[in-house]
Structure 1
Amino acid sequence: MGRKAGRSPGETRRLLLDAAGAIIRTRGVSATLDDIAQQAGVSKGGLVYHFASKEDLIRALADDLLQTFRNAVESALDPADTAPGRLTRAYVRACLDTSQDERVLLETIALLAQLITIPAVAELARADAECWDRELRADGLPEEVLALVVSAADGAVNAPLWGTLTRTANLRRLEDQLIRLTLSDCAPPSSGG
């Protein structure tokens, strides 16, 4: 099966990542490249042209998911916000984004749960978490405030893993409360004298 007319290599790559996500969500990480190629409507050769191996495809899929969240945080940055905690507030807004379709959120969580069982993906996720930890710690909030706010946001976004579906109104209220915590007069005292 040749390349579809009018589809760029980037579009084909995106199609393959989306197909891999859909197949892995339903069949698990044991899904084959043939399964993924069939889901995408491309030949296995076309898939291998973009991703040399299943490991490359899975790593790219995991990286794509991590980058999608990073992009959401960057989009949630308020250009007018220059106070300490700016990145943390964007992180909270991205985690608790109520404009996301609940079904898509559940599918993403299910996919991440499948992918994290792969050691290379677990290492990629660990490195990404360490990067977030460094960036958020440099955001200017006291550590105890940062820990509380980030843990609450992470917990709320992952609540569907435990069968808890949080209502939009509750998420908005939680978002407001967490952002208020980052803005309260809890900044560390200046060391100037």
Structure 2
Amino acid sequence: MGRTAGRSPHDTRRALVDAAADAVRARGIHASLDDIARFAGVSKGGLIYHFASKDELILELARDQLAAFQASVDAALDPSDTEPGRLTRAYIRAALAPVEDDVAMRQSLALITQLMTLPAVAELARADAERWDAALAADGLPPDVLTLVVAAADGMSTAPLWGASTQTPAHRRLAQRLLHLTRHPHLWEALTP
């Protein structure tokens, strides 16, 4: 990454967050501010000007990851879909969006795994999960159907972490079945005693 001369403060902060992600992927969660500054192509003082501490920078990186998923769900909302389960369907589409590069997906999941080892990040993620739980619970699906489809989507989305591809026909079929189940929750009720 090049020097920050000529960048806006916002662009510099963005570059530093991206560099922190690269440093954590390369060196682990214990990457130093010096490591991150090197990845960003700035001095340690330049980094500290924008982020007073490594903890502040790592929390911003975690917030960035959470915001990126929220943005992908927002982008997956179908404006013509007004039926119950609309948000859940967008969540499924975002979580199971085809990924062209399974290696990049594995790196992204590994980054999140590293970040989650920090208590402050785990707390931030817990609060975000509670927000998602509340929003999805208000989406109009029966609780058992909601639990099933969200757990399946979350589980499938981590497949690259274990070396599995997200590009298989079985993966795509299951995603379609989860979406179908959100439109026809009575199908699940017919299967349960």
Structures share a fold, TM > 0.5? yes
Partners of 1:70 and 1:32 in 2: CA distance:
29
* Aligned 8 A contact 1:25 1:107 in 2: yes
RMSD between aligned residues: 1.5
Q: TM-score, normalised by structure 2?
A: 0.91
Partners of 1:4 and 1:168 in 2: CA distance:
41
* Aligned 8 A contact 1:84 1:139 in 2: yes
* Aligned 8 A contact 1:98 1:168 in 2: no
Aligned to 1:57: 57
Partners of 1:102 and 1:92 in 2: CA distance:
18
1:6 matches 2:6:
yes
Aligned to 1:191: none
Aligned residues: 185
Q: Deviations over 1:52-111 (max 9, x none)?
A: 100000000001000100000000000000000000000000011104532221111000
Moved over 6 A (4+): none
* Aligned 8 A contact 1:137 1:143 in 2: yes
* Aligned 8 A contact 2:20 2:61 in 1: yes
Partners of 2:75 and 2:152 in 1: CA distance:
20
Please list every run of 5 or more consecutive structure 1 residues that lacks an aligned counterpart in the other structure: 188-193
* Aligned 8 A contact 2:59 2:120 in 1: yes
1:47 shift after superposition: 0.8
Aligned to 1:27: 27
Partners of 1:43 and 1:72 in 2: CA distance:
33
Once the two structures are overlaid, the 10-residue window that deviates more, 95-104 or 29-38, is 95-104
The aligned amino acid for 2:130 is: E
1:32-181 matches, within 5 Å, as 32-181=32-181
Please list every run of 5 or more consecutive structure 2 residues that lacks an aligned counterpart in the other structure: 188-193
Partners of 2:43 and 2:185 in 1: CA distance:
59
1:185 shift after superposition: 5.0
